[in-house]
Amino acid sequence: MDFNMKKLASDAGIFFTRAVQFTEEKFGQAEKTELDAHFENLLARADSTKNWTEKILRQTEVLLQPNPSARVEEFLYEKLDRKVPSRVTNGELLAQYMADAASELGPTTPYGKTLIKVAEAEKQLGAAERDFIHTASISFLTPLRNFLEGDWKTISKERRLLQNRRLDLDACKARLKKAKAAEAKATTVPDFQETRPRNYILSASASALWNDEVDKAEQELRVAQTEFDRQAEVTRLLLEGISSTHVNHLRCLHEFVKSQTTYYAQCYRHMLDLQKQLGSSQGAVFPGTFVGTTEPASPPLSSTSPTTAAATMPVVPSVASLAPPGEASLCLEEVAPPASGTRKARVLYDYEAADSSELALLADELITVYSLPGMDPDWLIGERGNKKGKVPVTYLELLS
């Protein structure tokens, strides 16, 4: 192999000069060219952006895939430029187990029928989770990863090059300073035997040599200063591009929130449908019990945008829309509670009555509830003292 020894020796000399300059700066024996305050702020903001992007990326990966072994496997597939195999979600796996259990224990039994219903809901939850992971990976994780593996690597490369240019510049400044000091000494302090003409000749020769050295050092300094200024401008432009990165990451963050909102809205809708199915089947299997569940139910999710909430989130229907014909005009004050079948219920969440036929609720208060023939299964009659009105079942925890 043919080596360019001259270039190799030159590169080794440059590396040694930079190493000496860097070491002397660390020990405070050499001056260092300082960057302006604005440039330092750009560097600090870029470093902060990179550090927080890495943390957000890693934690989002943990959120989407809690299994560390699965994350390592996906990472290896990506590095090998191979397609990541499809993975069954935990909800889909649970749905499969429930469906198999129902098939073996008897799909026509009450327990088997309920297992089938819950399995279907869990399968829908697993599918929603799969869509959420896919959407979040494309719209949020990929842009963050592209920044770290693309833009940031370019910025780091240019910063290292700027550091080398600065070391070269400071080394040239130190060399020029030493050359000027030696020239001044050679000019003002002749050799120790001033009476000899030979000493005057040697002193003049040394002064001329140092003059040449000063000229050479000044030329090298001008070249180093030009290269440093050019590299500083390139690095500055890249660092100012961090603002555009923030704008891009902001847009990706909005997309992530949108996908997460859609995911949880789908989960809430599936579970609300399942709760209604289980409530109706519970009333058929256990006639003496109330329609509903004694477990705390999640309240309707709220959103900062009323339009978005109305479009994506199911809400408790109003009494007027759910009441059978003739029931809306029912005077609750004239309705007497049944002789048997009343129960105590604890209010889970605050509820504001939509009209005079409903009863406003406060969280954690106890009320008496009962059902009337023909009532919608999602509503009960609630009594608190002398007040009486319709209350939604999903806001109650029925007590024994």
Give the model confidence (pLDDT) of 117-157 as tens digits. 999 999 999 999 999 999 999 999 999 999 999 999 999 99
Position with higher pLDDT, 338 vs 388:
388
Q: If you write DSSP's letter for every residue of 286-355 in order, what string do you get?
A: -TTS-SS-SSPPPPPPP-S-HHHHHHHS--PPPHHHHSPTTTTT--GGGPPPPSS--EEEEE-S-B--SS
What's residue 177's pLDDT?
A: 82
pLDDT at 68: 78
CA pair distance 273, 66, nearest whole angstrom = 28
pLDDT of amino acid 341: 73
* Residue 189 confidence (pLDDT): 52
Place of tokens 């002749």: 190
| Residue 112 CA to its chain's centroid (Å) | 41
How confident is the model at residue 140, as a pLDDT?
A: 95
pLDDT value for 374: 81
Quote the CA–CA distance of 93 and 90 in Å, as a whole number.
Answer: 5
**DSSP for residue 361:** B
Contacts of 365 (CB under 8 A, 6+ apart): 346, 347, 384
Q: Please report how the helices 37-64 and 242-285 are oriented relative to each other, as an axis angle in degrees rounded to 10.
A: 20
Q: For helices 90-105 and 110-136, give the axis angle rounded to 10 degrees.
A: 160
* Listed residue (364, 362, 398) closest to 380, CA to CA: 398
pTM of the model: 0.60
Q: Do residues 78 and 65 lie in contact, with contact meaning Cβ atoms separated by under 8 Å?
A: no
All structural domains of the chain with their residue ranges: 12-188+206-285, 342-399
d(CA 369, CA 366): 10
- Does residue 108 surpass a pLDDT of 70? yes
Cβ-based burial of 316 (10 A; exposed 0-12, middle 13-18, buried ≥19):
middle
Strand bridging mode 343-347 / 387-392 = unpaired
Q: Is 96 helix (H, G, I), strand (E, B) or coil?
A: helix
315: amino acid identity, one letter: V
> Which of 224, 110, 216 is CA-nearest to residue 167?
224
Sequence length of the chain is: 400
Question: What whole-number distance in Å separates Cα of residue 226 and Cα of residue 147?
Answer: 30
Yes or no: is domain 12-188+206-285 CATH 1.20.1270.60?
A: yes
Residue-wise pLDDT for 19-42, tens only, equals 776 777 676 666 778 888 999 999
Residue 4 has pLDDT above 70, yes or no: no
Partnered with residue 397 across adjacent β-strands are 346
Which of 342, 276, 40 has the alpha carbon at shortest distance from 162? 40
> Which CATH homologous superfamily contains domain 342-399?
SH3 Domains (2.30.30.40)
Model confidence band, residue 325 (pLDDT cutoffs 50, 70, 90): very low
Answer whether 12-188+206-285 and 342-399 agree in fold.
no
- Which alpha helices (DSSP H) does the chain contain, by range? 5-26, 37-64, 68-79, 90-105, 110-136, 142-146, 152-188, 197-240, 242-285, 306-312, 319-322
pLDDT at 391 over 50: yes
